[in-house]
Amino acid sequence: MRNNKPNILFIMADQLRADYLGCKGHPTLSTPHIDALARRGVNFTRAYCQAPVCGPSRMSFYTGRYAISHGASYNNVPLRVDERTLGDHLRPEGYRVALVGKTHMRRDVDGMQRLGLDPDTSRGVLVSQCGFEPFERDDGLHPDQSADPDLPYNRYLREQGYEGDNPWHSAANSAEDENGEVLSGWYMRNAHLPARVREEHSETAYTTNRAMDFISEAGDSPWCLHLSYIKPHWPYLAPAPYHAMYGPDDILPAARSDLERESPHPVLGAFMQHPESREFSRDEVRERVIPTYMGLVTQLDDHIGRLVAFLEAQGQLDNTLIVLTSDHGDYLGDHWLGEKEMFHEPSVRIPMIVVDPRHEADSTRGSVSERLVEAIDLVPTFVDTAGGDSLALDHVLEGRSLLPLVTGSRVEAWRQYAFSEADYAWRPARVALDLPTDEARAFMVTDGRWKYVHYQHHRPQLFDLATDPQELTDVAGDAHHTDTLERLEQALQGWALERRRRITVSNRRVTEQTGSAHKRGYLFGVW
Amino acid sequence: MRNNKPNILFIMADQLRADYLGCKGHPTLSTPHIDALARRGVNFTRAYCQAPVCGPSRMSFYTGRYAISHGASYNNVPLRVDERTLGDHLRPEGYRVALVGKTHMRRDVDGMQRLGLDPDTSRGVLVSQCGFEPFERDDGLHPDQSADPDLPYNRYLREQGYEGDNPWHSAANSAEDENGEVLSGWYMRNAHLPARVREEHSETAYTTNRAMDFISEAGDSPWCLHLSYIKPHWPYLAPAPYHAMYGPDDILPAARSDLERESPHPVLGAFMQHPESREFSRDEVRERVIPTYMGLVTQLDDHIGRLVAFLEAQGQLDNTLIVLTSDHGDYLGDHWLGEKEMFHEPSVRIPMIVVDPRHEADSTRGSVSERLVEAIDLVPTFVDTAGGDSLALDHVLEGRSLLPLVTGSRVEAWRQYAFSEADYAWRPARVALDLPTDEARAFMVTDGRWKYVHYQHHRPQLFDLATDPQELTDVAGDAHHTDTLERLEQALQGWALERRRRITVSNRRVTEQTGSAHKRGYLFGVW
């Protein structure tokens, strides 16, 4: 039985760039444990998130659907109550589907009220938590203004002797100056200082502990655990010794050109005016923050090593499919931008390592795949791993199972294009550009070589990733590339028209019903 | 109070072509009562349904959303449980929102089960009936194989002395030959015979009676009644005297050319092979069926006259906004096609008459408007009529209130394009074209002058409605019209990308939240 139902450990980092891992080519960053996962599995180097911002990206990961289909286009946009998630698809296969960490899910209060769904019932909890059993829900950002007094991690910190109402902030995400004065980790100028928390009490350590608690408790019944770390997402503050593990000499030079800033695309120009972009364009900021970002990655890596060792000790390692990915990247000053949201590789490309312990996957261990992979591929991958049939759900799921790639099966026609979306209605850039709230969207299409970006109300962009991997030269206006631009534009139109919206009837059912009206007695058009 | 809350009488005919009314220019068809409505209101001559087939068209009417947004792309595709409908929008304004007649709504059994919605609770009934209180639900097509033994209209017929298990079929939709043998109305060859039901017991009469019952019962509280007739939809059989009111000399010549049949567009060619198309291409069929179709329209008109007189007698006429429309048209042999589904004017254009009794609308009474109007405009029209604010729902509703047009207000920028959609996955044409179930879609864009049709996997079409109002000449391949074709194609792409999918957060709320993260304590990008 256990052989047919492997566990699924679905690890997500937050804001982890695809290129900030040793196994993805970072020259100075140490991630030996994640690299070891890559050696045991397939390292997908062209994986894209469906939206380079937490909320919509995650809802795509959890529903297996593009943002334009699930509708939760930005952070804190509630997922519609009748969007199916990973939990809905795996529970019928006998899986316990749990969350430890972050989802960025916001409950659709109005939708639940309209349908009389009580959030305190077990069904209401699942709908509120986008289908996960919230073994430990912690979205990891807790300003004093909005901290839940009962946040479990805060309770844990208090038990360890940390004081205050919100030790998440005052200890784990604060530092001290030489006089013992508390300095908030929300301010990037403090990023070089160690957090006021011992490493073993840090958020990353605690989250890992809770994952182990779940795995111990779950025992031998099949489980899917979404282990979702908040780091290396801001606040950029690491506990000792990770705060001092890297220095300015270890960081990659910024990918940016003067031309990008002097003559920007209007939308990117507006984003460059955001505080995070202005700050990250300064070398002082990059040199202070990026070493800490890297330290947080190495810390995460160490805890993944700890977790893998734990799985092995539990006898579960050979029975657990492991995925390591991230919801999106971080500009870190590349292209004169901070944060994420737009479609340059540092923002939109994500790490994606899939370790299938089963014999069938032996032929691909340690390999690198350049296939275009999308976040939405994980739900079908997990459904098929669990013994389900993702193709029976192809009226809902928009991704493709990665198992054929992981098992080295013959794959006739993989996807030609990957897509990602942005809805920046909430950002000052939208106001600066004087756009209505519903018309501040952008869409990315890439075929692996070319990247096309369509902006509502603004001209498109085109980059040649082969000759310009840093995406410094927009060639959309170059007459040599008109055909390419039109081809990608056509691909976007086709994509927009083909989304899976008829989610209440499966394609197989349609096939069964085709031409059946006469059989059912509806004799139209008969003389 | 009553002045602020007019009643809303939302009358829909089924399969009634826009040009089959006296006030829409039909030369021989008599519809004096509907013409009288047009004289009291605004007659919109360029109104389009969102999908030329019952189910998806109606779901667009009831949700105020395009089919690509609500997802119920064909007949019997259940509407998602969390799609809001007219009822959801009008009940908060104090309205009783009821149905008499057809909706073609299919309950989303799986979706309701997943959310624990009991179909027998009042909430479950509303979700099952797409938001209407089913004062009288009757979808009007009841083959013996699928007839509900408790169908109220059948009970009524039995009370009137009609015999059998399914008098809907054996009486109201059957005729007799000279020997008294029963002939089924499902067969078009019988269309010239009178139905075996007395006119006052016919479906159209009964449905009208039930509307009166509702209006009497509703009394002085504001109500919205969706009065939804099945006729002139097939079975094409009329009770005396309407069966013999028109003859072959009264019918319009078929709009079709030999070239259309000899060298058809592949999708239309596949539709021409359907039985309904083959039959309606024969003059014998047209000459027998169309007079009866016209008789059914005149019968409907007489009952609308009866209903208007009743409203007047009840003192409600001056307090009731009346809309008369249809879910789609009927090819009736035009373009060598039967039924509907595709985008020629006989199929996709609908009647749309709006009578606003209020003083504000006096300036437009009896006028004709050539503005592009869509089925989705009715929900916002009704919301605003009810004293609500449709603009506050513009993250959900995709139509525009017609009230500014009806009150003769200055309208700065009306829509440039109207759209309609087809999903013919269920039809033999899809099999003949060897298309997957999810890729048998087509989309229409018109700017009033030009009509562009985009087919998945097949070349587009373009018609010039000004020089070729019968749409006999596809000019998509004509180099003179490349710019027009590209403009309409761009309009379609823009439309597809702009659909309202973020339905859980209003645009006003987005505006309030824009740039508020720092205020809420999330200090990202701050040095």
The ipTM of this complex is 0.95
Nearest by Cα to B154 from B138, B172, B167: B167
Tell me if A438 and B498 make a contact (CB, 8 A cut-off): yes
Does A120 lie at the interface with B, CB-CB under 8 angstroms?
Answer: no
Residues contacting A516, CB < 8 A, separation 6+: none
The torsion angle over the Cα atoms of residues B191, B197, B203 and B204, rounded to 10 degrees, is 80
Tell me if B339 and A187 make a contact (CB, 8 A cut-off): no
Does B392 lie at the interface with A, CB-CB under 8 angstroms?
Answer: no
Q: What is the DSSP string of A175-239?
A: EE-TT--EEETTBGGGTTSBPSS-GGGSHHHHHHHHHHHHHHHHTTS-EEEEEEEEEESSS--B-
Nearest by Cα to B501 from A208, A56, A180, A522: A56
To the nearest whole Å, the CA of A176 is away from the closest chain B CA by 16
Nearest by Cα to B388 from B99, B132, B96, B91: B91
- Name the phi and psi angles at B443, rounded to 5: -140, 135
Q: What is the pLDDT of residues A257-283, one digit of tens each?
A: 999 999 999 999 999 999 999 999 999
Among B84, B497, B519, the strongest candidate for a mutation testing the A interface, having the largest count of A CBs within 10 A, is B497
Q: What is the pLDDT of residues A284-304, one digit of tens each?
A: 999 999 999 999 999 999 999
Beta strands in B289-389 (DSSP E): 320-326, 349-350, 352-355, 367-369, 373-374
d(CA B307, CA B326): 17
To the nearest 10 degrees (0 to 180), the angle between helices A283-313 and A203-218 is 20
User: Are the beta carbons of B156 and B203 closer than 8 angstroms?
Assistant: no
Burial B174-195, CB ≥16 within 10 A → b, else e: bbeeeeeeeebbbbbebbbbbb
Query: What pLDDT was estimated at residue A2?
Result: 46
Do β-strands B133-137 and B418-423 pair in parallel, antiparallel, or remain unpaired? unpaired
User: Are the beta carbons of B171 and B157 closer than 8 angstroms?
Assistant: yes
* B121 vs A contacts (CB less than 8 Å): 116
Residues of chain B short of pLDDT 70, as ranges, are 1-4
Chains A & B: contacts with CB separation below 8 Å: 245
Give the chain B residue nearest A501 (alpha carbons).
B71
To the nearest whole Å, the CA of A52 is away from the closest chain B CA by 16
The letter for the amino acid at A281 is S
Q: What is the pLDDT of residues B180-198, one digit of tens each?
A: 999 999 999 999 999 999 9
Do β-strands B367-369 and B42-44 pair in parallel, antiparallel, or remain unpaired? parallel
Tell me if B115 and A81 make a contact (CB, 8 A cut-off): yes
Does A507 lie at the interface with B, CB-CB under 8 angstroms?
Answer: yes
- Name the phi and psi angles at B183, rounded to 5: -120, 130
Query: What pLDDT was estimated at residue B137?
Result: 96
Mean pLDDT of A16-24: 96
Q: What is the pLDDT of residues A295-349, one digit of tens each?
A: 999 999 999 999 999 999 999 999 999 999 999 999 999 999 999 999 999 999 9
Mean pLDDT of A206-224: 97
Tell me if A111 and B501 make a contact (CB, 8 A cut-off): no
d(CA A500, CA A396): 6
Does B141 lie at the interface with A, CB-CB under 8 angstroms?
Answer: yes
Among B456, B458, B502, B523, the strongest candidate for a mutation testing the A interface, having the largest count of A CBs within 10 A, is B502
CA dihedral over A241, A243, A244, A245, signed as positive or negative: positive
* B440 vs A contacts (CB less than 8 Å): none
Of chain A residues 193-232, which have a CB less than 8 A from chain B?
Answer: none
Q: What is the pLDDT of residues B461-482, one digit of tens each?
A: 999 999 999 999 999 999 999 9
Helix (H) or strand (E) holding B311: helix B283-313
Tokens of A128: 């509120």
Alpha carbons within 13 angstroms on the beta-carbon side of residue B391 total 5
Mean pLDDT of A132-140: 96
Residues contacting B405, CB < 8 A, separation 6+: B42, B44, B364, B369, B371, B373, B411, B414
* B277 vs A contacts (CB less than 8 Å): 525
Nearest by Cα to B492 from A470, A492, A28, A378: A492
Closest to B80 (Cβ–Cβ): which among A184, A285, A503? A503
User: Are the beta carbons of A190 and A183 closer than 8 angstroms?
Assistant: yes
Distance of CA B341 to the CA centre of its chain: 12
Does A110 lie at the interface with B, CB-CB under 8 angstroms?
Answer: yes
d(CA A374, CA A64): 9
- Number of Cβ within a 10 Å radius of residue B382: 28
Q: What is the pLDDT of residues A410-456, one digit of tens each?
A: 998 999 999 999 999 999 999 999 999 999 999 999 999 999 999 99
Of chain B residues 249-278, which have a CB less than 8 A from chain A?
Answer: 274-278
Residues contacting A291, CB < 8 A, separation 6+: A191, A192, A245, A246, A247, A248, A250, A251
Q: What is the DSSP string of A28-57?
A: S---HHHHHHHHHSEEEEEEE-SSSSHHHH
Q: How confident is the model at residue A1 (pLDDT cuts 50, 70, 90)?
A: very low
Q: Is B410 helix (H, G, I), strand (E, B) or coil?
A: coil
Mean pLDDT of A40-58: 98
Q: How confident is the model at residue A492 (pLDDT cuts 50, 70, 90)?
A: very high
Burial A296-310, CB ≥16 within 10 A → b, else e: bbbbbbbbbbbbbeb
Give the chain A residue nearest B280 (alpha carbons).
A525
Query: What pLDDT was estimated at residue B412?
Result: 83
Does A77 lie at the interface with B, CB-CB under 8 angstroms?
Answer: yes
d(CA A252, CA A26): 8
Give the chain B residue nearest A440 (alpha carbons).
B498
Query: What pLDDT was estimated at residue B473?
Result: 98
Cα distances (Å, whole numbers) of residue B495 to A424, A496, B98, B327, B444: 18, 9, 32, 22, 11
To the nearest whole Å, the CA of A102 is away from the closest chain B CA by 16
Residues contacting A407, CB < 8 A, separation 6+: A356, A360, A361, A363, A364
Tell me if A527 and B188 make a contact (CB, 8 A cut-off): yes
Query: What pLDDT was estimated at residue A412?
Result: 83
Tell me if A72 and B117 make a contact (CB, 8 A cut-off): no
Of chain A residues 312-341, which have a CB less than 8 A from chain B?
Answer: 338-339
Closest to B339 (Cβ–Cβ): which among A79, A146, A524? A524
Give the chain B residue nearest A126 (alpha carbons).
B115
Maximum pairwise Cα distance, chain B: 95
To the nearest whole Å, the CA of A500 is away from the closest chain B CA by 8
Nearest by Cα to A377 from A390, A364, A361, A367: A390
Residues contacting A521, CB < 8 A, separation 6+: B143, B144, B145, B146
Residues contacting A30, CB < 8 A, separation 6+: A22, A245, A298, A301
Query: What pLDDT was estimated at residue A147?
Result: 86
